[in-house]
Structure 1
């Protein structure tokens, strides 16, 4: 997930500057969003059997990944092609992508989901799509900072993608382009914009807006194809005319943006017990996928008590607790070698140019 640090991580050999601290608001937002991601995956098996569960599922899916993407864009504002930032992109995004593509492939094969062991680096599986997308988005960040009206332009790209069934599945490009406007919006935001949504009147207004969205989701369950929320397919692949995809892109962007603002309005800005967990959301995001898939493959939801209302509540609490544990410092310490490796050995050393003895060189 997006780094919620006010300042970048020091490059190899660089001493950290004292006084640099993480922003508690963004760490809290990341933690709460990753909990919603895990809960959304836990609710998926209830979708077909309960209209209420389906409505909650649609409601959460309308904003949890857009919120992550907006925050990712916000913390990519300073990204450029400088050496230390490119190294961080490789070690913090590309390497975890490769590691978890392989880990998930091994897991699927061992669990019997696939008959043969195969690893495709161009076909993100389940949760790894976000890492592939983040890698691409950040590489394009310098471009979005120099164009006029970047958000409308990104919306146009997303709309065209939704009407292009021949994009193919490499790197989940359809989803990468359809989520692009949220990332570009994050690039354009400033601290004062987040301060606006955290005002008291906005928090109050967020309550009826969210309630209205829940009512609408309940109404939409039997009438709407939930695949629109995933942004993985073109309109034609969803059985709709091409122009419907363009309109749905605009509608979904507006809906997701409003609900993201409601979500952020209620995120606490002060340090809390969960603030430190915001630094480990990438761990929770990628690791909980193993349990989410295992629960389906090994029929954990077939137990009779799970299908009761109290069972659904218990599953929700278990999902929140598990992803919380996966974000804790002991898990981060154990897996930092693959999630945040230093990898100084993989990069050429920096050769600093020094002025020749005797100096001069200036204009006389």
Structure 2
């Protein structure tokens, strides 16, 4: 099947927003503008990423598939959990001690992605509407249990699973409906109104967008389910609004970055946390924000480069094909020089 550049372009934008969001997070408490930008991004960037992950989860749920999935997701999770723990200790980051089942920072996604595939093997046996409704119901209910939190990434797993499941049920033709002219025009209004609402409404706990805490911890134990349902609605509308403006065009090497987002996701924490720990950045105006955006883009490009892929492929993919290609090329080059 021919690869659709639309999906790779979407993944490039989303991974950039992941990195950019992590870079600007330390500045949201002192600036209403930065808080608005951060909250606006977080209403959709992970739901959209998860929806696309579900869209590409069309494999079967047999034992061989699950075994390959564990190799592709759980082994990198264990490797990077250890690496990040050592690295955090080295740079003096507080809270560096973490058990193997308490994901360090962004590693929750790997554990949850594996869990979503397991859940999918059951949910896909139900009709689409029933399965999505059940996933939403479970996602709303788990927030009432304080025991379901950061451990095993359970809270996020259940809270974000509806987006993964929706992505699974969607066809490419259905996703392309977002490109309709009326949807694109409406999306501009939606995105603008949400930004204005975030700016002027009272402070909203970012925990509602991260979905890693119970309703009790977020201070809304009784009506937390209503708040999370509103998040589902807003996030869904924002995902549609953002995807409506993703171009179909193949932009060459930029589009190709969309095939390497896992490397960026797993590795950018080493850079961003170092910046945070040493307080390298500050935000005093729009120029600073644009500068941080440029740094985020540079991080995405560098971590998607072939040298980085070659070094880290054994840890992330469990193979060294890129490194072997380089070594083979060097041997061929040496043989040619010897013969000449």
Q: Please give the TM-score of this superposition, normalised by the length of structure 2.
A: 0.88
Q: Is 1:327 aligned with 2:304?
A: yes
Shift in alpha-carbon separation, 1:111–1:223, aligned structure 2, 3 A = closer
User: For residue 323 of structure 2, what is the aligned residue in structure 1?
Assistant: none
The equivalent position to 1:289 in structure 2, one of 246, 266, 269, is 269
Q: Deviations over 1:160-189 (max 9, x none)?
A: 111111225321211111111111111111
User: For residue 108 of structure 1, what is the aligned residue in structure 2?
Assistant: 88
Measure how far apart 1:55 and its partner are: 0.6
Q: Deviations over 1:272-319 (max 9, x none)?
A: 1311101110111111111221112111135xxx43432222112111
**Partners of 1:114 and 1:46 in 2: CA distance:** 18
Q: Deviations over 1:313-338 (max 9, x none)?
A: 21121112212221233322221111
**Partners of 2:123 and 2:208 in 1: CA distance:** 25
Q: Is 1:146 aligned with 2:125?
A: yes
Q: Deviations over 1:62-98 (max 9, x none)?
A: 0000001101111113332152x33431232112111
**Partners of 1:37 and 1:249 in 2: CA distance:** 21
The equivalent position to 1:197 in structure 2, one of 163, 167, 178, is 178
Secondary structure (helix, strand or coil) at the match of 1:307 reads coil
User: For residue 251 of structure 1, what is the aligned residue in structure 2?
Assistant: 230
Measure how far apart 1:200 and its partner are: 2.5
Q: What stretches of structure 1 of length at least 5 have no aligned partner?
A: 1-19, 344-364
Measure how far apart 1:106 and its partner are: 0.8
User: For residue 310 of structure 1, what is the aligned residue in structure 2?
Assistant: 287
Q: What stretches of structure 2 of length at least 5 have no aligned partner?
A: 321-340
Name the Cα RMSD after superposition: 1.8
Q: Is 1:263 aligned with 2:242?
A: yes
- Structure having the higher helix fraction is 2
Contact 2:260 2:304 in 1 (8 A): yes
Q: Please give the TM-score of this superposition, normalised by the length of structure 1.
A: 0.83
The equivalent position to 1:128 in structure 2, one of 89, 96, 107, is 107
Q: Is 1:155 aligned with 2:133?
A: no
Number of equivalences:
317
Measure how far apart 1:25 and its partner are: 1.1
